[in-house]
Copies of this chain bind each other. A is one copy, B any other.
Amino acid sequence: MFSKSCEYAIKAMIFVAQKSDESNRIGIKEIAKGTDAPEHFMAKIMQDLSRRRLIHSVKGPNGGFYMDKSDLKNSIANIVKAIDGDVIYTDCVLGLKVCSEKNPCPVHNEYKEIKKNIIKMIEKNSIGDFKDKLDSARYFLKNNK
């Protein structure tokens, strides 16, 4: 569904949303630990996210990543688009280059509804929504060992 990078990105965004605010930043090491991701790989993903202005970062001592109010309003879809592009919006389940109403693959109509639901799911949910969920402590970003 999503690339590994994208999975990590979503988890990281939710994690930072929950753990940080403007005056309380959080470093890569913690983010990697908290999301069960390889540190260096996560660093690269955080760079992408910050370059695309989905998250704020501060260098130097006491620096780190944080999200402000407007960052929290970003939808999951914005993250997905930043990392994976718009493949989820355009791709055909059977991998046809062109798959449309005029030129449908055999499963096009069946999949159309599903795709609609997927898009609805990632667009209607904002990072802020998940912050609240995680606060309730019934949801997880990694498996406890």
Q: Write the residues of chain A forming the contact surface with B, with a CB cutoff of 8 angstroms.
A: 1-2, 4, 7-8, 10-11, 14, 76, 93-98, 103-108, 110-111, 113-114, 117-118, 121, 125, 130, 133-134, 138-143
Contact = CB atoms under 8 A, between A and B. Distances in A.
B141 A106 contact: yes
A133 B138 CA distance: 46
| Interface core residue of A94, A97, A138 (most chain B CB under 10 Å) | A94
A92 to B, nearest CB: 9
Given A111-B121, A117-B117, A121-B114, A139 B4 contact: no
A86 to B, nearest CB: 15
Contact of A98 (B106, B130, B143): B143
A97 B143 contact: yes
Given A7-B95, A94-B141, 12 more contacts: A2-B93, A10-B94, A10-B107, A11-B94, A14-B106, A96-B140, A96-B142, A96-B143, A98-B143, A104-B138, A104-B140, A114-B114
A76 B118 contact: no
